[in-house]
Amino acid sequence: MTVCYPNHAIHPLEARIDHRNADPRRPHRPRTGFGKALLVESRTQADLFVTCIIDQIYPQVGVSVVRVLRKLGVAVGFPEGQTCCGQPLYNTGYTEQARRLARRVLDGFRDSTYVVVPSGSCAAMMANFYPELFRDDPEMLEQARTLSSKVREFSQFLTDVLGMDDAGATYDGSVTYHPSCHLLREMGVRNGPIRLLENVRGAEYRELPNAEVCCGFGGTFSVKYPHISEGMVADKVANVTSTGADTLVSCDMSCLMNIEGALSRQGSDMRVRHLAQVLDDDGTHS
């Protein structure tokens, strides 16, 4: 297996968004003594923000994320006490409550070099919406911008920080990929996950028709307007099944929960996986 080493490429978002001026590549500050720090210096450090949905419902995805990152030589941390990024509150208009949760995240990941988030949606919350949440609070805004510069969605971390298109994984089956809306349109991640999938040994990638149309989840939207949400996910399921692939892959478990819920109701046997699970060689966790 090839292990690719990080090339520290500057992510295009950093060039595009001027508030991302903090440098995530500053030397890591060792926490555990001089001897260990020497060892640590040579490896890319990343702290995992696992997201509440993976924490509570899909922990196996988090396990795969850790395993893949470690396999690629990343030193993974998991700051304790993390819960929710606040997006459900932000999206329903409760900005003060969302700020309360955002402050916890800013505090918990203050010392991180990179923050890896296995969700395009939560990553967008942290990278794009935190600075908006604190736009009237200069001190917190500074912190939010600093965090924003460190946040990478999982696939983005692999392609843009570690600089790899091939995670050296093997997977048996045909796969299709649903690009989640926030990953696509907030984080600007379009082709990276597909390149990673195309390079998985044994996996046959099949393009999803109308891939960039929303699956209909939308957080509270899915229960506020279930009839519309159902209609949207029905279209998504029809497109997904039309590929004939045996596995649906995405980078957001919330969208996958929605699509899988509909697939399951239809009695479909299609597998539904987070990208990290497909890149995780050892099938025991997937």
Residues from 70 through 109 that contact another protein (CB under 8 A): 75-84, 86, 88-95, 97-98, 100-101, 104
The C-alpha angle with vertex 125 and arms to 122 and 126, in degrees rounded to 5, equals: 95
* Per-residue contact string for residues 174-193; x = within reach of another protein by CB under 8 A: -------xx-xxx-------
Instruction: Count how many Cα atoms sit within 13 Å of the Cα of residue 200 in the half-sphere of its side chain.
Output: 27
Q: Which stretch binds another protein (CB under 8 A): 161-169, 194-202, 220-228, 240-248?
A: 220-228
In the complex, least distance from residue 179 CB atom to another protein, rounded to whole angstroms: 11
Amino acid making up residue 188: G
**What distance lies between CA 36 and its chain's CA centroid?**
29
* Binding region for another protein (CB under 8 A) out of 11-19, 60-68, 141-149, 170-178: 60-68
Cα gap 246→13, rounded to integer Å: 34
Stretch that binds another protein, among 145-153, 158-166, 229-237, 239-247 (CB under 8 A): 229-237
| Binding flags for another protein, 110-149, as an x/- string (CB under 8 A) | ----------------------x-----------------
- Pick the closest to residue 18 from 145, 153, 120 (CA basis): 145
Q: How does strand 115-117 pair with strand 45-48? A: parallel
Give CA–CA dist 205/200, Å, rounded. 9
Q: Is 40 in the site for another protein (CB under 8 A)?
A: yes
| Member of 58, 130, 154, 177 binding another protein (CB under 8 A) | 58
Q: Which stretch binds another protein (CB under 8 A): 12-20, 147-155, 225-233, 243-251?
A: 225-233
Q: How far apart are CA 244 and CA 229, in angstroms?
A: 23
Task: State the Cα–Cα distance between residues 261 and 235, nearest whole angstrom.
Answer: 14
Beta carbon nearer to another protein, 37 or 166: 37
Of 31 and 201, the one with the shorter C-beta distance to another protein is: 31
Residue count at the site for another protein (CB under 8 A)? 80
Which residue among 50, 117, 140, 151 contacts another protein (CB under 8 A)? Answer: 50
Q: Does 36 participate in binding another protein (rule CB under 8 A)?
A: yes
> Which residue type is seen at 10?
I
Beta carbon of residue 219, minimum distance to another protein (angstroms, whole number): 8
Which tokens in the block code for residue 83? 């819960």
Which amino acid would we find at residue 256?
L
Our finding on whether 162 is near another protein (CB under 8 A) is no
> How many of the other CB atoms lie within 10 Å of CB of 277?
25
Stretch that binds another protein, among 140-148, 169-177, 244-252, 263-271 (CB under 8 A): 263-271
DSSP conformational letter for 27: P
State yes or no: residue 55 binds another protein (CB under 8 A): yes
Q: Can residue 3 be called a binding residue for another protein (CB under 8 A)?
A: no
Task: State which residue, 11 or 182, has the beta carbon closest to another protein.
Answer: 182
Q: Give the C-alpha separation, 153 to 118, whole Å.
A: 6
Q: Residue 170: helix, strand or coil by DSSP?
A: strand
- Point out which span in 2-10, 164-172, 242-250, 255-263 binds another protein (CB under 8 A): 255-263
> Angle at Cα 218 formed by Cα 49 and Cα 207, nearest 5°?
85
Query: What's phi and psi for 113, nearest 5 deg?
Result: -85, -55
